[in-house]
Structure 1
């Protein structure tokens, strides 16, 4: 079936999201490994992605682990250093689709406050035709409910949506609803998929 809209994940598709890398630079790899072994910081971040208040969640976690208090607060104070840089070719593909008037949506596990922090730094985050941000929706990928909410809001048939995400579990959940999918492992693969679907030509895709 022809693609009526392209749905982008954000983290590690349009913007690199590597908290461990930032902590390695700041506190060293060995200390970072010890902290991540002691505390499930990604579970903490999942709470933010489901709509809990960013600073409140991080400060609550820091208080619960006093031996790591200052390091945990870096998740809030230096969040933009973890969510960087943008992936230029992916952003170029997003904008090329827009120039072709192909609808582009965001579907991302992202907190309410963190998305607002990111938007001024990454202007393309305001360029989607529709933005489905988990913090506002109260549910995260790969829960089937979030995909159903996208379908209901956009009014397009599931099989007409082409979704790209770097996580296999998120892709599998979309496939289970009949979406077309592309497991993102770099912008070149996405470029080739968009060209093969006839959504962009080689020049537009930056070949």
Structure 2
């Protein structure tokens, strides 16, 4: 089935998202392991992705754990260092598709305020034809309603969407709805898929 639009996840597809790596560098691996064992930081971040306020959520979480208050606040205060660096080959692929006038959408679990901040650091986040940001939608992957909302809004039949994501659970929901999918494990594999589907030439996908 011909592809009409390509849908990108953002974290670990266009921008690396490795909070543990940041904390290992800043506070050391042993302290990071202790903190992550005691504090559900990813659960905190899930609330932000669901649309809770970025600053309020993290600062309130920090107050629950006084012994880790400063470290938890780093998730907010130094957030752009957690969401870094960009993945240059993936960005080139996004832009190559748009240069060929192939619609490119973002479908991402991302908070409202931190997504807006990220767009000031990573200009390519402003270059999607449509942005489906979980915090704005109050829905998150891998749950079905966010995919339904994308389908209803964009008007592209599910079987004509090609979606890449680094999380297999997100991929599986899309596949169950009839989307064409690619499990992202590296930019070169994604480039190869875009070439094999005839969306880019080998030269355009470098």
Q: TM bucket by the smaller chain?
A: over 0.9
Q: Over aligned residues, Cα RMSD in angstroms?
A: 0.4
Counterparts of 1:59 and 1:79 in 2: how far apart (Å)?
13
Q: Where in structure 2 are the equivalents of 1:55-66 lying within 5 Å?
A: 55-66=55-66
**2:38 aligned residue:** 38
* SS of match in other structure, 1:203: coil
**2:173 aligned residue:** 173
Structure 1: stretches of 5+ with no match in the other structure:
none
**1:117 aligned residue:** 117
TM-score (norm 2): 0.99
**1:16 aligned residue:** 16
**TM-aligned CA deviation for residue 159 of structure 1:** 0.5
Counterparts of 2:106 and 2:186 in 1: how far apart (Å)?
17
**TM-aligned CA deviation for residue 67 of structure 1:** 1.1
Counterparts of 2:13 and 2:74 in 1: how far apart (Å)?
23
* SS of match in other structure, 1:3: coil
Q: CA offsets, 1:109-159, max 9 Å, x none?
A: 000000011001100000000000000000110010000000000001000
Q: CA offsets, 1:74-116, max 9 Å, x none?
A: 0000000000000000000000000010000000000000001
Q: Where in structure 2 are the equivalents of 1:129-168 lying within 5 Å?
A: 129-168=129-168
**TM-aligned CA deviation for residue 10 of structure 1:** 0.2
**TM-aligned CA deviation for residue 163 of structure 1:** 0.2
Q: After TM superposition, where is structure 1 displaced by more than 2 Å over at least 4 residues in a row?
A: none
**1:4 aligned residue:** 4
Counterparts of 1:15 and 1:111 in 2: how far apart (Å)?
15
**TM-aligned CA deviation for residue 165 of structure 1:** 0.1
Counterparts of 1:13 and 1:125 in 2: how far apart (Å)?
12
**Is 1:48 matched with 2:73?**
no
**1:106 aligned residue:** 106
* SS of match in other structure, 1:202: coil
* SS of match in other structure, 1:205: coil
**TM-aligned CA deviation for residue 66 of structure 1:** 0.8
Structure 2: stretches of 5+ with no match in the other structure:
none
Counterparts of 1:203 and 1:71 in 2: how far apart (Å)?
45
* SS of match in other structure, 1:62: helix
Q: Where in structure 2 are the equivalents of 1:181-192 lying within 5 Å?
A: 181-192=181-192
